Chain A
Amino acid sequence: MNELQTLVDYFVKYPFVRYAFAVGLLIALCSSLLGVTLVLKRFSFIGDGLSHVAFGAMAVATITGLTNKMVIILPVTLLSAVLLLRTGQNTKIKGDAAIAMISVGALAIGYMLMNLFPSSANVTGDVCSTLFGSTSILTLKKSDVTLCVIMAVIVIAVFLLFYNKIFAVTFDENFCKASGINANAYNLVIALITATIIVLAMNLVGSLLISALIIFPALSAMRLFQSFRGVILCSAVISVICAAAGIILSILFSTPVGSTIVTADIAVFLLFCGLSAILKRG
Chain B
Amino acid sequence: MSAEIICEDVSLGYETGIVAEGLDFTVSRGDYLCILGENGSGKSTLVKTLLGLHHASSGKITRNVSGIGYLPQQTVVQRDFPASVREIVRAGCLNQCGFRPLYTKAERERAEQNMQRLGIADLSRRCYRTLSGGQQQRVLLARALCAADSMLLLDEPVTGLDPKAQIDLYELIAKLNRDGITIIMVSHDVRAAVQYASHILQIGAKKQLFFGTTEAYRKSEIGQTFLAAGGAEHE
Chain B residues, Cβ within 8 Å of A225: 82
Whether A164 contacts B97 by the Cβ 8 Å rule is yes
> How would residues 98 to 117 of chain A score, 1 for a CB under 8 Å from any chain B CB and 0 otherwise?
00000000000000000000
Binds B, one of A82-90, A226-234, A257-265: A226-234
Q: Which residues of A from 160 to 186 have beta carbons under 8 Å from B?
A: 160-165, 167-168, 170-172, 174-181
Smallest beta-carbon distance A35→chain B, Å: 12
Whether A168 contacts B126 by the Cβ 8 Å rule is no
How many angstroms between the C-alpha atoms of A228 and B125 in the bound complex? 11
How many interface residues does A have (CB within 8 Å)? Answer: 32
Whether A168 contacts B82 by the Cβ 8 Å rule is no
> How would residues 48 to 76 of chain B score, 1 for a CB under 8 Å from any chain A CB and 0 otherwise?
00010100000000000001111010010
* Count of CB-CB pairs between chains A and B under 8 Å: 88
Nearest A residue (CB) for B70:
A178
Whether B95 contacts A172 by the Cβ 8 Å rule is no
How many angstroms between the C-alpha atoms of A225 and B80 in the bound complex? 12
Task: State which of B53, B130, B144 has its C-beta within 8 Å of the C-beta of A177.
Answer: B53
How many angstroms between the C-alpha atoms of A42 and B79 in the bound complex? 13
Whether B53 contacts A179 by the Cβ 8 Å rule is no
Nearest B residue (CB) for A225:
B82
Whether B103 contacts A40 by the Cβ 8 Å rule is no
Whether A42 contacts B77 by the Cβ 8 Å rule is yes
Whether B94 contacts A176 by the Cβ 8 Å rule is yes
Smallest beta-carbon distance B213→chain A, Å: 27
User: Is B91 at the interface (CB under 8 A from chain A)?
Assistant: yes
Whether B83 contacts A181 by the Cβ 8 Å rule is no
Q: Which residues of A from 189 to 246 have beta carbons under 8 Å from B?
A: 221-222, 225-231
Whether A227 contacts B75 by the Cβ 8 Å rule is no
Whether A40 contacts B130 by the Cβ 8 Å rule is no
User: Is A41 at the interface (CB under 8 A from chain B)?
Assistant: yes
Given A174-B70, A179-B67: A226 and B91 interface contact (C-beta under 8 Å) = no
User: Is B143 at the interface (CB under 8 A from chain A)?
Assistant: yes
Smallest beta-carbon distance B103→chain A, Å: 7
20 residue pairs of the A-B complex, CB under 8 angstroms, read A161-B101, A162-B101, A164-B90, A164-B101, A164-B102, A164-B103, A165-B97, A167-B87, A167-B91, A171-B77, A172-B75, A177-B51, A179-B67, A179-B92, A179-B148, A180-B95, A226-B125, A226-B126, A227-B125, A229-B84
Which residues on A are within 8 Å of B, measured CB to CB? 36, 40-42, 160-165, 167-168, 170-172, 174-181, 221-222, 225-231
